Amino acid sequence: MPYFDSASSAPLHPVARQALRASLDEGWADPARLYREGRRAALLLDSARAAAAEAVGCRADELVFTPSGTQAVHAGMAGALFGRRRVGGHVVVSAVEHSSVLHAAGFAADAGGSVTEVPVARSGAVSPGAYADALRADTALACLQSANHEVGTVQPVAEVAGACRERGVPLLVDAAQSLGWGPVPGAWSLLTASAHKWGGPAGVGLLVVRKGVRFAPQGPSDERESGRAPGFVNIPAVVAAVASLRAVREEAAAESRRLAALVDLVRARVPELVPDVEVVGDPVARLPHLVTFSCLYVDGETLLHELDRAGFSVSSGSSCTSDTLTPSHVLRAMGVLSEGNVRVSLPRGTERAEVERFLDVLPRAVATVRAQLDAPVAGAARVTDADAAQAAYAGAALASEAPGEGGAPESAGEPEPAEAPREPESAGEPEPAMVVDALGRRCPIPVIELAKVFGSVPLGGTVAVLSDDAAARLDIPAWCEMRGQEYVGERPADRGIAYLVRRLS
């Protein structure tokens, strides 16, 4: 059964398995003890630290091992912010950071700090200029991932690191997705990573703090791992993690070329095989093994189940797979279609035959899900009784609402993730020719219902979609862009939101 979700967790590398077995016999003792078992354990730990530092490109005394990549992020951000508390409490992050970074930034904001989220382009990349503009005199820390975990886009870390250094702001880089492919470029100050992303065992993270960075570990600490990761180190797991990191680095050049060719095949063939698909992420500046696409009129969770039944394990950022029923924050920040989202991340060793079989299975899986949802067929149109919806829309509050003053993160600089929708003018905008009531119905039903009636809307006319699903705010504009229609804007209604679309063709 092909496993195509290595971005979540890569299969254990054979070298990691061998190293883990061997070190279980030598690395079980306390490395702080002076007797021979302790000395053997300490030697294993020191050797692993030196090898990890060489792979990262730092000094051995700058690197500590943590119980997870998430804990490395949290400890790194907390220590850097407290170490620079006299500067201020402002944090700059990109809008597509891993949730561990965003959660830590939100925690700092709740404690009295502030956060600026730098927007991304539709490719998922930040603009170095926009990132530099977000830095302030009270900025204590900046954070930028090396590559995005959902769409694979590689970020301009070196350029952003240079801008941060000019302003004296430390940059923390979340390198979880990219470290197995090579070192992170640029003059970064802190770095985090997680071994299970490159084929090491779960439960091992890395935290690097460069010399000269003001850093004060937070919470109870002890004498282990420079006080930055208290507790007994899992030495066998650490040894296995570092052994696998060195192994995958040796394979990286060849595997990168091979897997990139397979990803190119997926990027090219999926739009040819499946109608109404958007391939997202930067087509060039990307991780070699990862590709993400979204399918109109598809429930992402159901599609994943269909692919699983066909023997393929993939992931999704669709709102339909989320416990909160909200779209992926990454897809939302990019302004791309979220419904029917599929992330394919190929593990090392994936064969072309497996990818070709996936491409053979995918169209049937998508067609099955669309049929289950009664999705529209090309050229078909259906008019529904919308009297109740028209009444609901007629009661909508047409006056524009001012932006709230809540605690949402600031947004800084260009580029915008997508063109801002034009708000309908309450005096000049005619009543919609048709209203679709999708209240209480989840992604992708609001878009499906819109598509069914759209052919009956006169040219130049508008249709209003009433929806209380958070994904509609993302997917209806994305549908308009894919269909060449005009997304007019949104208005509050008696219930939910009214999304207005004008027919251009």
DSSP state of 154: B
Q: Is 401 exposed, middle or buried (0-12, 13-18, 19+ CB in 10 A)?
A: exposed
Contact assessment for residue 187 and residue 165, using Cβ atoms and an 8 Å cutoff = yes
In three-state form (DSSP H/G/I as H, E/B as E, the rest C), the secondary structure along 49-110 is HHHHHHHHCCCHHHEEEECCHHHHHHHHHHHHHHHCCCCCCEEEEECCCCHHHHHHHHHHHH
| Centroid of chain to Cα 487 | 26
DSSP helix/strand/coil, 114: strand
Instruction: Take residue 34 and report the two structure tokens written for it.
Output: 């002076």
How far is CA 361 from each of CA 258, 260, 348, 354, rounded to the nearest angstrom?
A: 22, 21, 21, 11
Among the options 164, 320, 443, 480, which is catalytic? 320
Bridge partners of 177, per DSSP, are: none
Q: Is 394 exposed, middle or buried (0-12, 13-18, 19+ CB in 10 A)?
A: exposed
The secondary structure of 151-196 as a DSSP string is T-BBP-HHHHHHHHHHTT--EEEE-TTTGGG-PPPS--SEEEEEGG
Q: How many Cβ atoms are within 10 Å of 2's Cβ, its own excluded?
A: 21
Q: Which amino acid is at 5?
A: D
User: Cα–Cα distance between 30 and 21 in angstroms, integer?
Assistant: 18
Catalytic status, residue 320: yes
Instruction: List the catalytic residues.
Output: 320
